């Protein structure tokens, strides 16, 4: 049984990584974390809080990025400690991995960096469980090479996240076959419902998306079979500092989770 922070992952049901795209302000992060913790308690889900301290690959140089690794990981660490929940964030360099591992329970490697050997090695050496986003440019079977690298560096507790594949220009398509194929390789798999509905650069200076489709794809993924589901959420996606078009409104998350648990029960016979 895998453990992320104080959460012992029960493989009989998927866990959920929930939170806003970016750490917009400290007060906002606390508000989101408290709200999601209450929802998690009511629904009985396995919950990990997510937020990014640096949106390092924004479309425009003028776009909001975040508070940075030191301040962001301080905020996440304090949230995790006070609320008693695991926290996760994405790291971009070897030095960031070392800093984040001091307070963050679950390290995430962004899709564009999923093959960066030095970064994978640094994350593995922290001893933290790891989530690697599958690059939009990779076939499902290509992640076997990522798994081989992580095993070589001594990391055994890691997940691969499907977040869609590039399909022409400014578009992604999520292939549910990918989930089956990667799990059939013996890998633990997460489905990222909100990034899978992105339209990269689709609004010119920012990324667009079809956020209303995120719960639809999440249901398909849960029915197919996954170890976890990643969904970004925001109090008011229209005013989000980053990835607003893809995020699920906070007031819709609880109903979405209840439905996903029902789909899991119907498809796999347990919750």
Cβ(248)–Cβ(233) below 8 Å: yes
Chain segment 190-203, per-residue pLDDT in tens: 999 999 998 876 55
Q: Model pTM?
A: 0.94
Cβ(216)–Cβ(246) below 8 Å: no
Q: Looking at the chain, how many residues does it have?
A: 271
Q: What is the pLDDT of residue 35?
A: 98
Q: Which residue has the tokens 């093959």?
A: 115
Q: Where are the domains of the chain?
A: 14-238+255-264
Q: Which residue has the tokens 């939170």?
A: 19
Task: Report the alpha-carbon distance of residue 29 to residue 175 in Å, rounded.
Answer: 32
| pLDDT surpasses 80 at 204 | no
Question: How many CA atoms within 13 Å lie on the side-chain side of 104?
Answer: 31
What average pLDDT is seen over the chain? Answer: 93
Chain segment 58-69, per-residue pLDDT in tens: 667 877 888 899
Q: Which CATH class is domain 14-238+255-264?
A: alpha beta
Q: What is the pLDDT of residue 2?
A: 86
Task: Report the alpha-carbon distance of residue 101 to residue 73 in Å, rounded.
Answer: 9
Q: In the chain, at which residue ranges do the beta strands (DSSP E only) sit?
A: 3-4, 7-8, 15-19, 46-50, 87-90, 106-109, 130-133, 158-162, 165-166, 172-173, 188-192, 198-199, 208-209, 228-234, 248-249
Q: What is the pLDDT of residue 132?
A: 98
CA proximity to 148, closest of 110, 184, 115: 115
Chain segment 239-268, per-residue pLDDT in tens: 988 878 899 999 999 999 999 999 999 999
Distances (CA, A) of 184 to 46, 115, 251: 23, 21, 35
| pLDDT surpasses 70 at 98 | yes
């Amino acid at each position: 049984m895998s453990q992320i922070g104080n959460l012992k992952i029960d493989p009989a049901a998927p866990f959920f990584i929930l939170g806003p795209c970016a750490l917009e302000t400290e007060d906002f992060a606390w508000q989101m974390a408290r709200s999601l913790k209450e929802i998690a308690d009511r629904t009985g889900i396995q919950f990990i809080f997510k937020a990014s301290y640096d949106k390092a690959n924004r479309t425009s140089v003028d776009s909001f990025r975040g508070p940075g690794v030191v301040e962001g990981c301080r905020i996440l660490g304090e949230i995790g400690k006070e609320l008693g929940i695991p926290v996760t964030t994405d790291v971009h360099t070897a030095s960031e991995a070392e800093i984040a591992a001091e307070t963050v329970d679950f390290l995430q490697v962004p899709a564009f960096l999923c093959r960066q050997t030095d970064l994978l090695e640094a994350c593995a050496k922290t001893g933290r469980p790891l989530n690697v986003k599958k690059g939009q440019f990779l076939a499902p079977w290509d992640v076997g090479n990522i798994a081989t690298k992580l095993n070589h560096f001594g990391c055994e507790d890691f997940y691969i996240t499907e977040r869609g594949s590039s399909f022409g220009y400014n578009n992604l398509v999520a292939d549910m076959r990918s989930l089956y194929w990667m799990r059939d390789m013996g890998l633990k798999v997460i489905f990222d419902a909100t990034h899978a509905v992105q339209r990269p650069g689709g609004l010119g200076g920012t990324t667009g998306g079809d956020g209303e489709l995120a719960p639809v794809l999440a249901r398909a993924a849960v029915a197919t079979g996954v170890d976890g589901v990643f969904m970004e959420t925001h109090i008011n996606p229209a005013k989000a500092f980053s990835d607003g078009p893809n995020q699920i409104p906070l007031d819709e998350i609880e109903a979405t989770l209840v439905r996903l648990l029902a789909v899991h029960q119907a498809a796999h016979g347990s919750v």
